[in-house]
Amino acid sequence: MRVRTLSLSLAIVVILATLVPASVGAQAPNTYTSIIVTDVLSGAPVVGGIFVTDLRVSITNSATPQVGIMGVEIWLPFDSAIVTVDDYDDNPANGTQVEIKNGFFDGSLVIGANEVIIGAMPPTAPTDCTAAGACVHVALSHTGGSGPVTNKAGVIATISWAALAVGSPAIGIAVVPPGVPPGSVLSDSDGLPITINSTSVPTIAVIDAGTINGIVHRQGTQTDDAGTALVALAVGDGVAATGATAADGSFSLAVPLGSTYIVNASYAGYLQSQKSSIYVVGATVNIGTTTLVGGDVNSDNCINILDIVSIIGKFGMTGLPATDPEDINDDGTINILDLTIAAGNFTRCGPTTWAP
């Protein structure tokens, strides 16, 4: 009897062993995918302003056989009372579009959809888009290249948002369970959907704008101060606004209220000028006038013998574009006027203080 009991016990143990998972880790997926709307990359979410986000896709495989993404279709609902999409190609005839990027696929892109729909939705739109009444819709694949993407993260589109009113733009990613169309889809080369494991969208709030005004002149320029680049940097947050001067040197940058900013002015052939500790609490802050110092031909933010030699090397040349840094005063000719400006500022470095 004892032998029979031991045999029965051993059989039970064997059966139970086949029912218990080998380890908890075996439950983790071998393939992991995500769709991400990035945080604001440039500009600022202020009323009347433009801000930019990227749309990214990623996939990783930790075991074989590996799953590869061959096609992507994504729907992004948003609140069109708060934001709209700034048309990438500025061509109303073909509808509003976003900028499709080749950052995820490495072959020749095949674009099935690139549209911004506001109002009535097509039957193929997911319910999230129908409820929101506004959606970005992109669909793309590629030919050639390395084929299905198995381990990569990259940008498939860049979206420029125009802020219309204060509030949350409610940007989302419409995802439905596998096999329940319509919605965002990642597809393999057999046309089968790949599970979307995670999605991520930033918390963005459009707020009222403040304005930083000022004037930038350029040394040696007689009549036209247009085209100087301006950047407003929020301390601790990066680029908040960009712009350029008008012909009279004036500029206006829309920035979020309640932050401290640094404004930088730059132009080819000149030292940068910078204004720090600009605290914007009211509607408008005027930071006054600055004059850029000429002679920095090689854009290292110092004027030295390298710049002088570059000007001498092109001395007497005419018919040059305004972008030529040796033609400091943009009169189309490299002559004694340009050489004098550089020589007079020899050994100076930037950024210079914000002053006339």
What percent of the chain has pLDDT above 90? 74
Q: Which range has the top average pLDDT, 19-33, 44-58, 336-350?
A: 336-350
Residue from 58, 60, 59, 56 nearest 38 by CA: 56
The pLDDT of residue 189 is above 90: yes
Query: Do 184 and 222 share a domain, yes or no?
Result: no
Query: Do 95 and 133 share a domain, yes or no?
Result: yes
Query: Do 234 and 257 share a domain, yes or no?
Result: yes
Residue 90 in domain: yes
Query: Do 178 and 196 share a domain, yes or no?
Result: yes
Q: Using the 3D structure, point to which of 166, 200, 234 is the last residue of a domain.
A: 200
Residue 272 in domain: yes
Torsion angles phi and psi, residue 260, rounded to 5: -105, 135
Its domain, for residue 275, covers: 209-353
Q: Does residue 124 or residue 100 have the better pLDDT?
A: 100
Residue 307 in domain: yes
Q: What is the pLDDT of residue 12?
A: 37
Q: What is the pLDDT of residue 25?
A: 27
Query: What is the mean predicted confidence (pLDDT) over 94-106?
Result: 94
CA pair distance 206, 218, nearest whole angstrom: 35
CA pair distance 228, 323, nearest whole angstrom: 12
Residue 47 belongs to domain with CATH number: 2.60.40.680
Q: Is the dihedral of CA 273, 247, 233, 158 positive or negative?
A: negative
CA pair distance 296, 315, nearest whole angstrom: 16
Q: What's the mean per-residue pLDDT of the chain?
A: 89
The tokens of 153 are what?
């993260």
Query: Do 141 and 280 share a domain, yes or no?
Result: no
Query: Do 227 and 300 share a domain, yes or no?
Result: yes
N- to C-terminal Cα distance for the chain? 107
CB-CB contact of 181 with 191 (8 Å): no
Please tell me the total count of domains within the chain.
2
Query: Do 178 and 106 share a domain, yes or no?
Result: yes
Q: Using the 3D structure, point to which of 149, 176, 200 is the last residue of a domain.
A: 200
Q: Using the 3D structure, point to which of 159, 181, 200 is the last residue of a domain.
A: 200
Query: Do 228 and 317 share a domain, yes or no?
Result: yes
Instruction: Say which range, 38-47, 130-139, 178-187, has the weakest mean pLDDT.
Output: 178-187
Query: Do 253 and 184 share a domain, yes or no?
Result: no
Quickly state the pLDDT bin for 178 (edges 50, 70, 90): low
The tokens of 251 are what?
């500029």
Residue 6 in domain: no
Residue 253 belongs to domain with CATH number: 2.60.40.4130
Query: What is the mean predicted confidence (pLDDT) over 305-325?
Result: 93
Quickly state the pLDDT bin for 236 (edges 50, 70, 90): confident
The tokens of 11 are what?
């059989």
pTM: 0.67
Question: Each residue of 7-21: pLDDT tens digit?
Answer: 434 343 333 333 333
Quickly state the pLDDT bin for 238 (edges 50, 70, 90): confident
Instruction: Say which range, 175-179, 298-302, 315-319, 351-355, has the weakest mean pLDDT.
Output: 175-179
Query: Do 113 and 163 share a domain, yes or no?
Result: yes
- The 8-class DSSP code of residue 309 comes to H
Residue 23 in domain: no
Query: What is the mean predicted confidence (pLDDT) over 163-190?
Result: 87
Residue 106 in domain: yes
Query: Do 221 and 189 share a domain, yes or no?
Result: no
Q: What is the pLDDT of residue 180?
A: 60
Residue 18 in domain: no
Q: Does residue 242 or residue 12 have the better pLDDT?
A: 242
Query: Do 179 and 275 share a domain, yes or no?
Result: no
Q: What is the pLDDT of residue 94?
A: 87
Tokens 């002559």 belong to residue = 335
The pLDDT of residue 129 is above 90: yes
Question: Each residue of 275-291: pLDDT tens digit?
Answer: 999 999 877 899 999 99
Q: What is the pLDDT of residue 18?
A: 37
